[in-house]
Structure 1
């Protein structure tokens, strides 16, 4: 089975490093981008299975990036990361196809469970 690919899009280096570490230990192939331009190049060239996308990114914001991702490949799963209180944006992100969102500072274990559920959900065997 191919390793699932996860792309982290956040302008904060610390968050990218943290998430890269967490999810590479889960066995995923990891990609990271600090802005929308790099993120969309990765989406085009490497086609991640799931994108963890920060809502507030200088330049092209999260909603714009989300729109582009869904236009390029509607099957890519997107989970948004937001600062507190961006409820109107969360609603719009959901309408654009984001699966769920985490408010920063997020619980890393909750995020790990959510990502694993999205990526390993179909292959989980209940015994």
Structure 2
């Protein structure tokens, strides 16, 4: 079973994505901040991280930098309401497989997640 970490400071988004992805058969953990995400990444193994770029304490950019420095190879999908502003930074990360703009279409989102997880097999 594939394990996914959802990192978003909005409880509604965490709940929505958990519902969608657990119904697809994935095992889900969530984090509300970058610090909480790092703690979970250090104590678990994930196949995919779904990362809101604009999160408190440690933002998405810093989180990705930290994972790269520590050679934590985890496929990441970045979700953001400000895709145009972050594209340059995000494209530099070797962990980021896709960037999805908020608000997103649920069926498209499900397909994107599936395609990234299939690539990592």
Structure 1 unaligned residues grouped into runs of 5+: none
2:23: which partner in 1?
A: 25
Deviations 1:74-126 (A, max 9, x none): 42100100113x42422211211211111111111111101111113476xxx
The structure with the larger Rg is 1
Q: 2:49 aligns with which of 29, 36, 51?
A: 51
Q: Does 1:113 align with 2:108?
A: no
- State the distance in 1 between where 2:117 and 2:58 align: 26
- Match of 2:25, SS state, is coil
Structure 2 unaligned residues grouped into runs of 5+: none
Alpha-carbon deviation of 1:34?
Answer: 0.1
- State the distance in 2 between where 1:60 and 1:75 align: 19
Q: 1:93 aligns with which of 85, 90, 95?
A: 90
Alpha-carbon deviation of 1:71?
Answer: 3.0
2:13: which partner in 1?
A: 15
- Match of 1:99, SS state, is strand
- State the distance in 1 between where 2:38 and 2:4 align: 13
Residue pair 2:97, 2:116 contacting (<8 A) in 1 also: no
- State the distance in 1 between where 2:31 and 2:70 align: 17
Alpha-carbon deviation of 1:11?
Answer: 0.2
TM-score (norm 1): 0.86
TM-score (norm 2): 0.90
- Number of aligned residue pairs: give it: 120
> Could you say if the C-alpha distance between residues 45 and 92 of structure 1 is closer, same or farther in structure 2, counting changes exceeding 3 Å?
same
Q: 2:61 aligns with which of 60, 63, 66?
A: 63
